[in-house]
Each structure stands twice: as structure tokens, then as C-alpha cells.
A and B are shown apart, each in its own frame.
Chain A
Amino acid sequence: AQSVAQPEDQVNVAEGNPLTVKCTYSVSGNPYLFWYVQYPNRGLQFLLKYITGDNLVKGSYGFEAEFNKSQTSFHLKKPSALVSDSALYFCAVRDITFSGNTPLVFGKGTRLSVIA
């Protein structure tokens, strides 16, 4: 079975400082990994994904994430946080070993608060 853990419910960071939102995953085969962001009363917006290749993935709005197979992690990072980055962030995984139609499994979300 697939699962995702986001160990922090809330992350607070000062504007201009680097931010990290943590994610670890568990799959029986090969993972496809995704990050999404949700602003209040909105649906989820795609930020970036890891499928294969380079372990460092760059995405929208200056975000990046690093795939670490040995630690089964896919942490989201940004070098310099903005107040407008304040939102709810979700990590998701899909195990594509058996079927390309396997749905995404999501973590519980991490609320990021960037303080001016």
C-alpha cells in the first residue's frame, strides 16, 4: 500500500528566509511524487513532480524539491520565502509499478505561514 507522511502540521518562517516542508513516502515499487498548494477556499494547484532522472526538481513560483530514495523523502524547498507563499501544502505519491491508473495518495497537509 502507498502512504505519505507530512510530519509537521504547521511551519512558520520569516519572510526572506529559506523554507522546507517535509514529506516522506512509502510504496512497494517505484514512486511518482508530487507537490500541490492550496489557497483558502480553492482547489489544489500543481507545483512540481518527480518522475525519473535528476533528483532535484524545479517547479512553479521558485519552489524545488529533492528526491532522496534512501531516506524515502521528497522535501519541498524555497530559498527565500514570500508572505504570498502562505498556504496549505500537500505531498502526494503514486506507485506505478502495477498500473498507470493508480490514484494519487495524499498526505494530511502542512500549513505554511510566512511572517513579514
Chain B
Amino acid sequence: DVKVTQSSRYLVKRTGEKVFLECVQDMDHENMFWYRQDPGLGLRLIYFSYDVKMKEKGDIPEGYSVSREKKERFSLILESASTNQTSMYLCASSLTGGFGEAFFGQGTRLTVV
């Protein structure tokens, strides 16, 4: 069964902390994505990567960075967490070529206090 696994379901962090969200996929997919989900705003793309060590900014990259050192792992980093980064974070992966659907992890609900 195909799988995208996010390291935590729930996280509580303090303002100013550096936060790491980890995502691992076992499908050998080239593309990986980080989205943020907020009520009434749907899913918004933070960053994506279409190859190891490659990254592209999405619609809302400010305050975030990413790392992809291995094909199966894509990390989202909040350099200095702020309360407005409290949200549900969703990782996804897909094959290249465009026709493949994206597979999602179970989500990480991050609360910054």
C-alpha cells in the first residue's frame, strides 16, 4: 500500500522556536509538496520539489524553508515559529508527468503558542 508518512500528528511549539516537519514517501515519487490548510482558505502551496536538492517556492513561502537531501524525504522548516503559522500542514508526493494524482500524508496539526 502506498504511503506518505508525516512524522507527527500534533505539535505544540513556542513562538520563536525552529520547527522541523518531516515527510517520507515510499513510492519512489519524484515530486513532493508541502501545503498548508486553513478553514475557508483551502490548501495553499508552500514549497515543492521535483528532484533531490531542487526546490521551488509556492504561493506562501515566507517564513518557511525546505530541504530535500534524499528522494524519499522532504522536510519543512519554520525558521522562527509565529502564532500565525498555527495550521494544518499536509505533505504530498506524485510522479512526474502531470497525470498522476498526488498522495497525501495524514497531516500535522501545528499549534504555536
Contact = CB atoms under 8 A, between A and B. Distances in A.
Nearest to B94: A104
A46 B99 contact: no
Given A100-B96, A103-B45, A107-B42, A43 B101 contact: no
Interface residues of A, number: 26
B98 A49 contact: no
B16 interface: no
B104 A90 contact: no
A96 B98 CA distance: 6
A28 interface: no
18 contacts: A9-B40, A32-B99, A41-B107, A43-B4, A43-B104, A43-B106, A44-B43, A44-B90, A46-B101, A90-B42, A90-B43, A100-B99, A101-B50, A104-B33, A105-B45, A106-B35, A106-B42, A106-B43
Interface of A: 9, 32, 34, 36, 41-46, 49, 51, 90, 94, 96, 99-109
Interface of B: 4, 9, 30-31, 33, 35, 40-43, 45, 48, 50, 58, 90, 92, 96-99, 101-107, 109
